[in-house]
Amino acid sequence: MKKTTTLGLIVGNRGFFPAHLCESGRTEILKILEEEGIKVVTLPLDATKFGAVESYSDAQKCASFFRSYRDEIDGVLVTLPNFGDERAIADTLRLAELNVPVLIHAFNDDAKKMTIKFRRDSFCGKMSVCNNLRQYNLRYSLTRLHTVDPRTNEFRQDLQSFAATCRVVRRLKNARIGALGARPAAFNTVRFSEKLLEASGISVETLDLSEALGWVRKMNDSDKPVTQKLESIKSYTSVSGIPQESLLKMAKLGVAIDRWVEDKHLSATAIQCWTALEEFYGVVPCTLMSMMSDSLMPSACETDVAGLVGMYVLQSASEKPSALLDWNNNYGDDPNKGVVFHCSNLPKSFFSHQKMDYQEIIAGTVGKDNTFGTIVGRVAPGPFTYCRVSTDELRGRITSYVGEGEFTEDMLDTFGGFGVIKVPAFQTLLQYICRQGLEHHVAATRANVAAALEDALGTYLGWEVYHHQ
């Protein structure tokens, strides 16, 4: 469910600079934030001089005010209409103890208004604020331009990127990942460390596949939750040619997963597929996982928990569905293009067209009748951001890489869920993946949010981030 981003606003002031700029600057910033759909928590105009912060007393007032909204504030915007008092700003953030991302913004000076009445010196003040935040061991984000007019598209883009950073950081706090089933024996690539994830606030809740199937065996075809899930499957995708028995099996498994998610308060799920569900139950879980991912409850196959974390952070940043893909094939002899693929459980919003079908790869082993339930089709053209999260136990660190590319319209005739992608300097990225020994799975979302991810994961989570550009 989408949630409006709420920012605490600190307006910096310094007495011997033009204080009237704080009043006009505050008004201007509040107007832009409202237009961008961002809620604001800030000192009332009469709480301090122009509602700004320039002393320790002001810092105490602002910090106390922020603490009363602790559960609502996702991040803090520090804006400098003039030089600003760097210590007062740092004191406010320290005393508030919000532990949220902080964006530092400085107004532009007007070269035609450089008299004592209008000169801001925010350019210099921003450096002093950052210097003090470093001294206080407080983390912060920056606008792309050192000073920027709040009315410009550049600043609006900075705001939206920072809001995405805030969403990722907030949602990773106390995230609960469900792992249904053991790692498939042949997939060493999806090994991960629960302890490293736990240290970052991400808990993993496991469930044995036999327990879930035990719950399924107690269900009747006519049970109301089963019939409701069956109807939701039929309304989600075309089921033409799919046996009713297979659809009922999917519906019952879906009810079991939904109950588990609700009972354990899960944020996302990773599910064993290959090939226990096909051999011993008779369907693939792809449609159910596609439905969850499309409703912003990401779900990854092959019990790839670390890959699922990548899906979760992408979805948190973009507020759009995410998918787990394979970097799978070259595309002819173009070094910057490739083919991404999965069997597939991609959310239907990824596709230009899609339908339910059977899983052609596993069918060769367990038979077609046991593999109905995939969502197949061509990924629609458009921009995307990719992300891979890994737990590097040898170094005791969580690592990641992020970048952006595009799904193209290049011709391709194949099966499953697939797309042709173009990534700048793709061969350099592939060299990096192979030299670091990283996985072939990669998460993707249909939006440009790489900068926000780099900021969230690197600046605030302390993870190692390679931003491919």
How do residues 61-111 score in pLDDT, each as one tens digit?
999 999 999 999 999 999 999 988 999 999 999 999 999 999 999 999 887
- Mean pLDDT computed over 165-174: 96
- Mean pLDDT computed over 456-460: 98
- Mean pLDDT computed over 204-215: 97
Rounded-to-integer distance, Cα 11 and Cα 308, Å: 39
pLDDT (0 to 100) of residue 275:
85
- Mean pLDDT computed over 152-167: 98
Could you tell me whether strands 299-301 and 268-271 are parallel, antiparallel, or unpaired per DSSP bridges?
A: parallel
Q: Helix, strand, or coil here: 128?
A: helix
- Mean pLDDT computed over 272-288: 93
How do residues 224-259 score in pLDDT, each as one tens digit?
999 999 999 999 999 999 999 999 999 999 999 999
pLDDT (0 to 100) of residue 1:
55
How do residues 296-338 score in pLDDT, each as one tens digit?
999 999 999 999 999 999 999 999 999 999 999 999 999 999 9
pLDDT (0 to 100) of residue 116:
67
Read off the pLDDT band of 114 (50, 70, 90).
Answer: low
Please provide the DSSP assignment of 40-101 as one string: EEE--TTTSGGG-B-SHHHHHHHHHHHHTTTTT--EEEEEESSS--HHHHHHHHHHH-----
Could you tell me whether strands 417-422 and 337-342 are parallel, antiparallel, or unpaired per DSSP bridges?
A: antiparallel
Q: For the chain, how many helices (H) and strands (E)?
A: 15, 18
How do residues 259-271 score in pLDDT, each as one tens digit?
999 999 999 999 9
Rounded-to-integer distance, Cα 133 and Cα 10, Å: 14
Whether 274 and 284 have beta carbons less than 8 Å apart is answered as no
pLDDT (0 to 100) of residue 8:
98
Instruction: Give the tokens for residue 363.
Output: 């069918």
Read off the pLDDT band of 436 (50, 70, 90).
Answer: very high
Rounded-to-integer distance, Cα 389 and Cα 257, Å: 24
pLDDT (0 to 100) of residue 109:
86
Rounded-to-integer distance, Cα 209 and Cα 193, Å: 20
Instruction: Give the tokens for residue 435.
Output: 């030299």
> Does residue 274 register a pLDDT over 90?
no
Domain boundaries, the chain: 6-172, 175-468
Place of tokens 């996302």: 268
Among 2.60.40.10, 3.40.50.10940, 3.50.50.60, 3.40.50.720, name the CATH number for the domain at 6-172: 3.40.50.10940
Read off the pLDDT band of 113 (50, 70, 90).
Answer: confident
Average pLDDT, the chain: 95
Q: Which pTM value belongs to this model?
A: 0.95
Whether 239 and 229 have beta carbons less than 8 Å apart is answered as no
pLDDT (0 to 100) of residue 142:
98
Read off the pLDDT band of 19 (50, 70, 90).
Answer: confident
How do residues 20-64 score in pLDDT, each as one tens digit?
888 999 999 999 999 999 999 999 999 999 999 999 999 999 999
CATH number of 175-468: 3.40.275.10
